[in-house]
Amino acid sequence: MTTSIRKQITKVGTVLTDMVMPNIAAFIACGLLAAVCAPHGWWPNADIYRVVSLSQAYLIPMLLAFTGGSNVGGHRGGVVAAITAMGVISTAQSAAILGAMIAGPVAGWAVNAVDDWLRPHVKQGFEMLVNNFSAGILGILLALASYYGLAPVVDAGASLLASGVANLIAWHLLPLANVIIEPAKVLFLNNALNHGILTPLGMQAADQVGKSVLFLVETNPGPGLGILLAFHYFGHGHSQKSAGNAAIIEFFGGIHEIYFPYVLSQPALLLAAIAGGVAGTFTFSSLDAGLTTVASPGSIISILLLTPHGLGSFLAVVAGVLAAAVISFGVASVVLKYSHQPASDVEVIQPSKHAIRKIIITGTQGMGTPQMAVTLLQAKLKNLNDITVSVVAQPISELTPDQNALFITRDDLVSVVHDQVPGEIRILAVTNYLKSPVYDQVLAMLQAQKQ
C-alpha cells in the first residue's frame, strides 16, 4: 500500500470513527436492551423492544449524522446534518445508518461553504438572522437531495453489500474476509473497517434476525491474544517482557491496537493474524454465533454481555474466540522461532525556541493506547523534580496549534497530524505507544530543557 493511499484511507477512517465512537453508548444501550427484551431475549417484552426498533431506525442515524456534521461544521453543521439525515431515513430505513454517515460530513462541509459565500455580504446586526435562515433553507435542500438522490444510491449499495455478505455466509466463505481484514487491522485501519462497513451491515442484519456474525469478524480478540501469548513464551527482550501484560489489556480491555506493533515488527506474523481470524470466523459461522450489536471495545467482557440469550450462543462465541487464539498462537510460535526482528522507533522532532509545557499523545478516535501511554508517561514524570508538564491524550481531529506542545503519535500518522496542525510543530513519531525507551527520551529532553 502506497503512502498516499494509506494516508487517504486513514483520513476516511478517522472521519468515520469520529462519528461512531462518541455515540457508541447508544449502540451498546440498544444491544443490551435487545438482548433482554427481544423475542428471543432473556425476558421478551414486545412493548419495550419497540424502543430498540425506533432507536435503530431514528436515534442512532440522527446521532451519527449530527456528530459528523458538527465535527465538520460546528453545531449548525450538526443541525443541518440531522435535517439532511431525515431524507435518508424516510426512504431508506434499511440503510439509514450508512446514509447518515455520508450525509453528516457532507452537510457540515456544505454549511461551511455557504457561510464562506454569505459572510462578506451580511450586514452587521443581521448575522443571527442569516445564519438561522441559511441553515434552515440549506437543511431543506439537502434533505430533498438525500431523499431523491442519496437514499436510493445508498439503499442499492447497501443491498448489494448485504447480498454479498449473505452469499459469503451461505456459501461458508465469510472467513475469507479475514484475509483482507487482519492485515488492514494491523495497519490501524480497524476502526474504519468496523465502524464504516461491518457495523452498518451488522445493524441491518441484527434488526431482522436479532443478531449478526459481522459484529464478531473484526472485534474477535482471539488472534491478538494468540500472538501476544506467543511473544510471551517464545519472544525475546522487551517484547517478551511486555507481551504478558499486553495480552491482558487486549483480551479483557479490548484494546486491540496494543498488539499491532508486535505484528509490524515481524511482518511474517501477519500469517498468524490471518490464520487466527479465518479460524475464528469459520467457527462463528459454523456454529451460528452472533452479537446483538457492535462490541466496543472488542473485549471478551463486552462480547459476552452482547451475546444473545442461550447456552448454545455463549458456547459458539467462546469457541470462535478460542479457535482464533489457538491457531494464531501456533502459527506465531513457529514464526518467532525462526525470525527475530525488533521494532524501532522513528524520531521526527522539529527544533523550537519554545519550551515544552504540554505533551499531547495523539491518535485516531477510539484508540485506547494513547490514554494508556499518558498513564505510563505521567508515572515516569513523578520521578522528576521541578518539571511541570501536562500530559494529555487527544484525538487528531481535536488538535490545535500549540507552540509549547510536543506531539507524540504513530509514525504512519505524522502526515495526518501535520494536516490537522500545519506549520512547524514538534513531533515524536513512534511505532509503539507503550515502548518505554521512547518516554525515557522525552524525560531526557525535559531535563535538558531545565538546564
**Cα(314)–Cα(28) distance, rounded to whole angstroms?**
18
Residue, of 381 and 108, whose pLDDT is higher: 108
Contact present, 108 and 77 (Cβ < 8 Å): yes
360, β-bridge pairs? 392, 407
Contact present, 361 and 376 (Cβ < 8 Å): no
Residues 281-315: tens digit of each pLDDT: 999 999 999 998 888 778 898 899 889 888 999 99
Q: Which of 191-195, 289-293, 324-328, 374-378 has the largest mean confidence? A: 324-328
**Cα(202)–Cα(306) distance, rounded to whole angstroms?**
13
Would you tell me the crossing angle of helices 199-209 and 96-118 to the nearest 10 degrees?
A: 130
The cell numbers describing 365, all together, are 478516535
Cis peptide bond N-terminal to 44, omega within 30: no
Average the pLDDT over each of 52-61, 338-347, 413-422 and give the range with the smallest value: 338-347
- Per-residue confidence (pLDDT) for residue 111, from 0 to 100: 95
Residues 49-68: tens digit of each pLDDT: 888 888 878 998 899 999 99
Q: Any alpha helices (H) in 339-413, and if so which ranges? A: 369-381
- Per-residue confidence (pLDDT) for residue 332, from 0 to 100: 94
CA-wise closest residue to 94 among 139, 48, 61, 50: 61
187 pLDDT band, cuts 50/70/90, is low
CA-wise closest residue to 348 among 435, 401, 417: 417
Prediction pTM value: 0.64
Would you tell me the crossing angle of helices 151-170 and 60-91 to the nearest 10 degrees?
A: 100
- The CA dihedral of 353, 355, 357, 360, to the nearest 10 degrees, is 50
- Per-residue confidence (pLDDT) for residue 165, from 0 to 100: 67
- Per-residue confidence (pLDDT) for residue 386, from 0 to 100: 67
- Per-residue confidence (pLDDT) for residue 429, from 0 to 100: 81
**pLDDT over 70 (residue 366):** no
CA-wise closest residue to 207 among 297, 301, 292: 292
- What does the DSSP 8-state code read for residue 257? G
Instruction: Parse the chain into domains and list their residue ranges.
Output: 174-191+204-343, 346-450
CATH number, domain 346-450: 3.40.50.2300
Please write down the long-range contacts of 429-432, taking CB distance under 8 Å and 24 or more positions apart.
429/345, 429/346, 429/347, 429/348, 430/345, 430/346, 431/261, 431/264, 431/265, 431/343, 431/344, 431/345, 431/346, 432/261, 432/343, 432/345
- Per-residue confidence (pLDDT) for residue 377, from 0 to 100: 83
471495545: which residue's cell? 297
Mean pLDDT in residue range 364-368: 62
Contact present, 351 and 250 (Cβ < 8 Å): no
Residues with Cβ within 8 Å of residue 19, at least 6 apart in sequence: 64, 67, 68, 71, 101, 104, 105, 195
**Cα(308)–Cα(304) distance, rounded to whole angstroms?**
9
Q: Which of 241-245, 389-393, 410-414 has the largest mean confidence? A: 389-393
**Cα(322)–Cα(382) distance, rounded to whole angstroms?**
40
CA distances from 268 to 60, 209, 332, 339 (A): 40, 39, 8, 9
**pLDDT over 90 (residue 110):** yes
The cell numbers describing 349, all together, are 522532532
Q: What angle do CA 222, 225, 226 make, to 5 degrees?
A: 85
Residues 210-265: tens digit of each pLDDT: 888 989 998 899 999 999 999 999 887 667 777 888 888 889 878 787 788 788 77
